Amino acid sequence: MRRRARLSFPLVLVLFSPSFFGQTPGAPQAPSAEVDPLAASHYQRGLQAIQKGELATAVREFRLAVKYAPKSGSAHNSLGWAFLETGEVDRAVIEFRKAIALEPQFTEAYFNMARALERRNDLDGAIQFYQYALRQRPEWADAHAALGVVLGHQGNLLGARNEFEAAATLATNTGAKQLREGNVDGAIEQFRAALKLAPNHAPAHYQLGMALREKGDLAQAATEFEKAHQLDPRLRPPRN
């Protein structure tokens, strides 16, 4: 009989499409462990099927990965992702619960569970699991934004605004770092995403002005600097 081992996968699927900030939220590496080659092979085939949009194939391959690595939270999480993408929400919830039970610190599984419960219109449950995810990773901008959306659907406009502001702050910080590193286009994407969530977020307007100035768009940069100054008089346009 083939011995089943816990599987350490190189990539963990996270359901959040589209991302508010133009990227898939990062996923931590699973702890190093003995890998069942057959399970790893099926897992990689599942990922390839996802990239091709072949969801039925992805479900089949992730099921086989789970069969050969039943104690892998990554495998259960990815199978849940595939189920959710095919509209099998109840099955997705079961897999996310298994992933969380196997790996209680698996932040992405909590996030995915929240998305599944939101799809099932269980907004209270979705809020709870987004909060669980944020308890483990407080600086996850996508989770703050997603939580803000659900709170807004529930009519908690103040709570939603607070979450959007938190997401905008994190995105602005990420964009500022990218700008310092010379990734001007990436920075602009972050600043504009932040402003979609929080249009009056003064630092995002200011940093967007800095990025646009780097691009040579001086007129639009001046507009952003002026908007930032109106929102926060402490933010003044650079002198040169």
Nearest 10 degrees: Cα torsion 66, 70, 74, 78? 30
Both tokens assigned to 185: 């286009």
Model pLDDT for residues 201-225, shown as the tens digit of each residue: 999 999 999 999 999 999 999 999 9
pTM greater than 0.75 (yes/no): yes
Model pLDDT for residues 43-89, shown as the tens digit of each residue: 889 988 988 999 999 999 999 999 999 999 999 999 999 999 999 99
Domain with CATH 1.25.40.10 in the chain: 1-121, 156-240
Both tokens assigned to 104: 């209680």
Q: What is the Cα–Cα distance from 181 to 171, expressed in whole angstroms?
A: 15
The CATH number that domain 1-121 falls under is 1.25.40.10
Secondary structure of residue 219 in the 3-state scheme: helix
Closest listed residue to residue 76, CA positions, set 68, 213, 211, 2: 68
The CATH number that domain 156-240 falls under is 1.25.40.10
